[in-house]
Structure 1
Amino acid sequence: MRRRLAFVAAVLLVVTGCSQDGPQPEEASPPAASSASAPPARGSAEVVRTLTTKLKSPWGVAALPGGDLLVGSRDAGTVVRVAAKDGRRTELGSVPGVAAAGEGGLLGLAVSPDFAGDHTLYAYFTTGSDNRIARLRVDEGRPEGRRLGAPETIVRDIPKGFTHNGGRLAFGPDGMLYAGTGEGGRSELAQDRASLGGKILRMTPDGKPAPGNPDARSIVYSHGHRNVQGLAWDAHKRLWASEFGQHTWDELNLVEPGRNYGWPKAEGRAGRAGFVDPVAQWRTDEASPSGLAYAAGSLWMASLRGERLWRVPLRGTKPAAAPRAYLQGNYGRLRTVVPTDDGGLWLTTSNTDGRGDAGPDDDRLLRLKVT
């Protein structure tokens, strides 16, 4: 049965030109950046604990003050609190209006920088008409399963599609809220400054254009992106993003305000005037990157189709060594990676969404020690 499903998936890839969360490489591609002449990154990444299992399509993960985690189910639209101490799960409830299909559903989660005082959770999710960002109050005093308040939409009309919905959500060190979006399968939107598709967005916690944006009237921070699902800041507060390519190159980009990252006119290192080339790139069968985090002086990139965790050590704005892969094939598809308070990582698998081989509702939240 698995071989038959794999054959059907392969046929669909040929027809569409890209897979859900994992594009198909062309038959002739040059070597990936991961095989550059620099020596590979040193250090280690070791799974020291499986915090919880039997998760259903986990996508968004947000750390609470004190270390516990909020985990969202893309397909079910629910949010659970997972205790960092023992993995105990408490259901907080469902996000109303989520319409899960394809790569859409309940995607990124982020907690307010003042969560201890305002108890506010931010969610990026797909509805019947668009992708949007809303905030909800988390009320721990209500009965289990009813602890999420009504969503208050702060951004709407982000283009949706069966694929390329983006979805990563994170607060930056400047206190502003950032979102990575996709172009919803309409590549021309990435170059359309009036569209929120194929962009990185930067906004106040109320969803308004953040001070210092390239256009004071817009929440658009950068454009020319295909499908951004990873956002992270390094020790010097520089923003990095991981991005799905189409046929040839997945990308790691250093993001600067107002810059154009090329899609659909450029994919990977094109060397074309007016476009920013990625800092690192991978063949799509080696990556299909979703989550991104910074820890131990390196960026860590979770890969879906590549089924591995990439480490990119940094020296300033450049890799200090060639990227190195960890956990290759050990846990299947890897979705979201989040730094821990003590310099480690949380990592989720993504095998129970109809495209993996784990059992029903058996994705995991793993604790990693990195050096």
Structure 2
Amino acid sequence: MTAVLAVATLLMTAGCSSDDGGSPGGGESTAPGSTASGASPTRQAADDAPPAKGSVKVLRTVAEGLETPWGLAPLPDGDLLVSSRDEATLTRVDGETGKKTEVGEVPGVSPAGEGGLMGLALSPDYASDHMVYAYFTSASDNRIVRMLYDEQKPSGAQLGAPDTIFRGIPKGFVHNGGRIAFGPDKMLYAGTGESGDTGLSQDKESPGGKILRLTPEGEPAPGNPFPDSPVYSYGHRNVQGLAWDTKQRLFASEFGQDTWDELNAIKPGDNYGWPQAEGRSDDAAFHNPIAQWGTDDASPSGIAYAEGSIWMAGLKGQRLWRIPLKGTEASADPQAFLEGEYGRLRTVVSAGGGKLWLMTSETDGRGSPEGGDDRILEVQVS
């Protein structure tokens, strides 16, 4: 794998594959209200870069025996809520002992290919409303729902009926997107795919191949770049990673087709090029990635921010990538960790204190599961 740092933009020249590792087919990032309180414009423009080289230490295996895990949402008490893509269930994992308790099954999920029950997010007001948001593939589309999680009810029957807040995201056997997250502005962001219909990515009337920004009720969020539209950015192929840095700037990972996977700094209203561009382009109409990888080395799903870097889970690449940041640029070559040690890596979530929750994806039909798969790991990073 060869890496070069050219100008302020990083290019990785190694070979990569599309999406979850199957066959092909498939400026400044400023969210509204994102200016950090008390920070001077000069300080914001000149972020301190982390060391060029970091480290990763796996502290423990938190849980084993998970079936097609996809989304992971840390609960306030330190436990973890995990979605099963193919079984359409939510499972609570004890953050200390790893004990697994089924919360309930989400009705209406239609798993197939890369689709099923995917991303999870807790309401910004979870302490008072106990609402869990989920992104899933139905018989007709991809949609986002919210459900009451009542811990007082018996195990397996703790989920209320899903309330669909957004529907009509195109579905396909591949490229269903699926990551959702509440931003620092308490708006709901969703990474979607173009479902294999590449023209949808450039169609601002379609929610496919986009990053969407919604209110918690599923309406287009105030301040979106296009009037009365949920679209926040477009020209994406298949976004499955969303994370914000400490300055509230949004970053997103994206699957390439045959050549380049991407990490992008997201600017509202910008066009990220697909299908006209895969990876860097000389066309000024397209926002270039801050880092790119050959598809054999990445096929990125989830990302998280910790210790001044974006940490990116690689599926086909079977490794955890560290991308150190200076502002919205990569400040040094990305580093790869855990290469091949735990297989396909699906989801990574900040656990605070320089730690991450890292979840594998060997049981998704494209891995080679061994005893104990799939797993959640607790990882210390720097």
Please say whether Structure 1 and Structure 2 have the same fold, judged by a TM-score greater than 0.5.
yes
* Residues paired across the two proteins, number: 342
Distance 2:135 2:23 in 1: 26
Of residues 208, 215, 221, the one that matches 1:197 is 208
1: CA distance, partners of 2:204 / 2:80: 35
SS at match of 1:80: strand
In structure 1, list runs of 5 or more residues that go unmatched.
Answer: 1-16, 26-38
Q: Deviations over 1:299-356 (max 9, x none)?
A: 0000000000000011111111100000000000000000003220000000012211
What residue number does 1:244 align with?
Answer: 255
Q: Report if the CA contact (8 A) 1:110-1:171 is conserved.
A: yes
1:211 is the counterpart of 2:222? yes
Deviation for aligned residue 1:18: 6.4
1:187 to 191, 198, 214: 198
Which runs of structure 2 are paired with 1:206-355 in the superposition (5 Å)? 206-355=217-366
1:161 to 172, 180, 195: 172
CA distance in 2, matches of 1:360, 1:184: 33
Q: Give the aligned partner of residue 156 of structure 2.
A: 145
Residue 63 of structure 1 deviates from its aligned partner by: 1.1
Cα deviation 1:252-304 (Å, max 9, x = unaligned): 00001100000000010012121101000000000000010000110000000
Distance 2:344 2:163 in 1: 32
CA distance, structure 2, for counterparts of residue 154 and residue 18 of structure 1: 33
Q: Does the aligned pair in 2 maintain the 1:177–1:203 contact within 8 Å?
A: yes
CA contact (8 A) 1:105 1:125 kept: yes
Match for 2:367 among 338, 341, 356?
356
Distance in 1 separating the partners of 2:186 and 2:115? 27
Divergent runs of 4+, >3 A: 17-20
Report if aligned partners of 1:23, 1:246 keep a CA contact under 8 Å in 2. Answer: no
* Structure 2 contact 17–259 (Cα < 8 Å) conserved: no
Q: Go from structure 1 to structure 2 and tell me whether the alpha carbon gap of 1:286 and 1:321 turns closer, same or farther (over 3 Å shift).
A: same
Q: Distance in 2 between matches of 1:158 and 1:354?
A: 24
- Secondary structure of 1:55's partner? coil
**Once the 2 structures are TM-superposed, how far is the Cα of residue 20 of structure 1 from its aligned partner?**
5.2
1 or 2 for the larger relative contact order (CA 8 Å, sep ≥6)? 2
Q: Which amino acid aligns with 2:21?
A: G
2:143 alignment partner in structure 1: 132
Equivalences for 1:3-82 in 2 at 5 Å? 19=18, 21-22=20-21, 41-82=52-93
Measure, in 1, the Cα distance between the counterparts of 2:250 and 2:174: 25
C-alpha contact (below 8 Å) 1:292/1:299 kept by paired residues: yes
Is the CA contact (8 Å cut-off) linking 2:80 and 2:95 kept in structure 1?
yes
Matched residues in 2 for 1:313 and 1:48: separation?
Answer: 22
Find the aligned partners of 2:353 and 2:51 in 1 and give their Cα distance: 25
**Structure 1 contact 41–312 (Cα < 8 Å) conserved:** no
CA contact (8 A) 1:119 1:137 kept: yes
- In 1, distance between residues paired with 2:192 and 2:328? 23
Tell me which residue corresponds to 1:101. 112
Q: Which residue of 1 aligns with 2:188?
A: 177
| Structure 1 length-normalised TM | 0.90
Q: Deviations over 1:37-81 (max 9, x none)?
A: xx9931211111000000000000011112211000000000011
Amino acid paired to 1:357: S
CA contact (8 A) 1:352 1:360 kept: no
Is 1:121 matched up with 2:120? no
Contact kept in structure 1, 2:315 and 2:346, CA below 8 Å: yes
Deviates more, 1:307-316 or 1:355-364: 355-364
Aligned to 1:62, the other structure's residue is in SS state strand
SS in 2 for 1:81: strand
Q: Percent identity?
A: 64
For 1:361 and 1:158, the matched residues in 2 are separated by 34
Partner Cα separation in structure 2 for residue 44 and residue 350 of structure 1: 22
- Superposition CA RMSD, Å: 1.6
Unmatched runs of 5 consecutive residues or more in structure 2? 1-15, 25-49
Q: What one-letter code is carried by the residue in structure 2 that aligns with 1:77?
A: A
8 Å CA contact retained: 2:18, 2:299: no
Aligned counterpart, 2:37: none
Corresponding residue for 1:4?
none
CA distance in 1, matches of 2:368, 2:236: 30
| 1:232 aligned counterpart, secondary structure | strand
Contact 1:352 1:359 in 2 (8 A): no
